[in-house]
Copies of this chain bind each other. A is one copy, B any other.
Amino acid sequence: MKVAKFGGSSMASASQLIKVGDIIKDDASRKFIVVSAPGKRFKEDTKMTDLLIDLGTAYLQQTNFAEQFEAIMQRFTEIVTELELPDTLLDEFTESLKRVQELSDNEASLMDAVKAIGEDSSAKMLSAYLNKIGINSSYINPQEAGLILSDEPGNAQILPDSFDKIRMLRERDGVLVIPGFFGYTEEGKLVTFSRGGSDITGSLIAAGVEAEIYENFTDVDSVFTVNPSFVSNPKTITKLTYKEMRELSYAGFSVFHDEALIPAYHAKIPVAIKNTNNPLAKGTLIVAERELNGRVVTGIASDTGFCSLYVSKYLMNREIGFGRKLLNIFEDEGVSFEHAPSGIDNMSVIFRERNLPRDKERIILERIKNELHPDTVSITRGIAIIMVVGEGLVNSIGVANRATEAFTKANVNIEMINQGSSEVSMMFGIQAADLKRAIRSLYELYFMEEDALVRSGS
């Protein structure tokens, strides 16, 4: 049995839903279908979820919401009409949109409930369409499916007991269409995952029903080895491990929701990234383990917006607890950091700039000076992180040398290197201005030169 999740672009219009129907029809083992809300039909379009957020905001501000309401219903109407689905669906959606207004005394609950209408309506439309084309299908509400979540609106987590209930879905007849993105608390209150959380729903269902595979249908043929905005027509990745995917997504690969990998990872269920618009393309498969194919590096990811705090103190190294005290200050101030590499008498702490606003920076610098009495403390902003990721990196001689060679060739100064034992990645910190040059040089090395070597058999 397979779980297939269809993203926003797959649910964006009637013509897209027709493709989804074909994909489901094509493989009888696609029994569990999880859907997002309708996404963009074209670049300037607005996603259904954003329209719903606008409506929720108008509700809360008690301003006129006729326009927002209308925009939402127009998109639903378009799909329902073009697919010739029963008009009763539209009445149902109108009713849902009106009903959430009652929650206006609780902002978080109202926003979660109004956003969920996108996925919920998607699921109802798809189920109706499947029945219309002769596939026995039911819409399954997440509560009925067993998605019982913690009471954290906008960032809910699955409760462990859910999986036993989800597993019972295996006994149901026909294709089950489940809206992604939300579930219910034990008290029956609707709560959502973090944004993009339909991937999480799919992964949870896959883990719960012990699916043979979790298919994630998007609008790309496969995952690229490098961001196509740096390198034109980069090579694609056919297979990678959960670990590799996780490290790539840390530094900007946004194909798959980060948290969403966890349930699949723990249940060891392979995840396939596929294209609704080209379902015959091979796609990208995420697995627990893979054979090495002679290529050392699987992908190169990068992200900007990092900064680094540097503290030095003569003989710091002899002060038991110095590092702990430093990190404690950040925890106290609610600032999460990424890494804390240390030298002999110094320590750097790497943050995402968004986690270290200027006012916090001031407080933290003061506290470090007063509590730790360092010789120097300073902050550098505008740092970019590059992750070179590949299972082939583990214990290979010369791996670091190949990578640093690429930076040297591109005339890029490395501000920071972090390579640890038994890791599938190397992390480099450089000035953001050098990023494109560095990425191109790394790509050239790992995907052009090395492939040429592999092909020539040397």
Could you list which residues of chain A lie within 8 angstroms of chain B, going by C-beta atoms?
243, 246-247, 250, 258-259, 261-262, 265-266, 308, 310, 314-315, 317, 320-321, 323-324, 327-328, 331, 334, 336-348, 380, 387, 395-401, 403-405, 407-408, 411-423, 425-427, 429
Contact = CB atoms under 8 A, between A and B. Distances in A.
Contacts of A331: 320-321, 324
A401 B405 contact: yes
A323 B315 contact: no
A397 B259 CA distance: 37
A397 B417 contact: no
A158 to B, nearest CB: 14
Given A246-B344, A320-B336, A414 B419 contact: yes
Contact of A343 (B315, B321, B418): B418
Given A265-B314, A321-B331, A408-B398, A423 B339 contact: no
Contacts of A387: 344
Contact of A404 (B338, B400, B412): B400
27 contacts: A246-B345, A250-B344, A262-B315, A266-B314, A308-B421, A324-B324, A324-B328, A327-B327, A339-B341, A339-B342, A340-B342, A341-B342, A341-B420, A342-B418, A344-B422, A344-B425, A346-B422, A347-B421, A348-B421, A399-B414, A401-B401, A404-B404, A414-B419, A414-B420, A417-B417, A417-B420, A421-B429
A343 B429 contact: no
Contact of A327 (B250, B259, B323, B395): B323
A348 B421 CA distance: 5
A155 to B, nearest CB: 11
A408 B414 contact: no
Contacts of A320: 331, 334, 336
A1 to B, nearest CB: 25
Given A339-B341, A344-B422, A348-B421, A411 B397 contact: yes
Specify the main secondary structure of chain A where it touches its partner. mixed
- Pairs of residues from A and B, 6 with the lowest C-beta to C-beta distance, nearest first: A343-B422, A416-B420, A401-B404, A398-B408, A343-B421, A348-B421
A344 B245 CA distance: 11
A246 B416 CA distance: 21
A415 B246 CA distance: 21
Given A308-B421, A396-B413, A397-B411, 13 more contacts: A246-B315, A246-B344, A310-B420, A320-B336, A324-B324, A327-B327, A340-B342, A341-B418, A346-B421, A380-B421, A401-B405, A418-B418, A418-B420
A261 B321 CA distance: 22
Contacts of A342: 338-341, 418, 420-421
Contacts of A345: 243, 246-247, 422
Nearest to A311: B421
A423 B343 contact: yes
A250 B317 contact: yes
A401 B407 CA distance: 8
A403 to B, nearest CB: 8
Most buried by B among A315, A400, A415, A426: A400
Contacts of A422: 310, 343-346
A416 B420 CA distance: 4
Contacts of A265: 314
Contacts of A243: 345
Contact of A417 (B266, B324, B419): B419
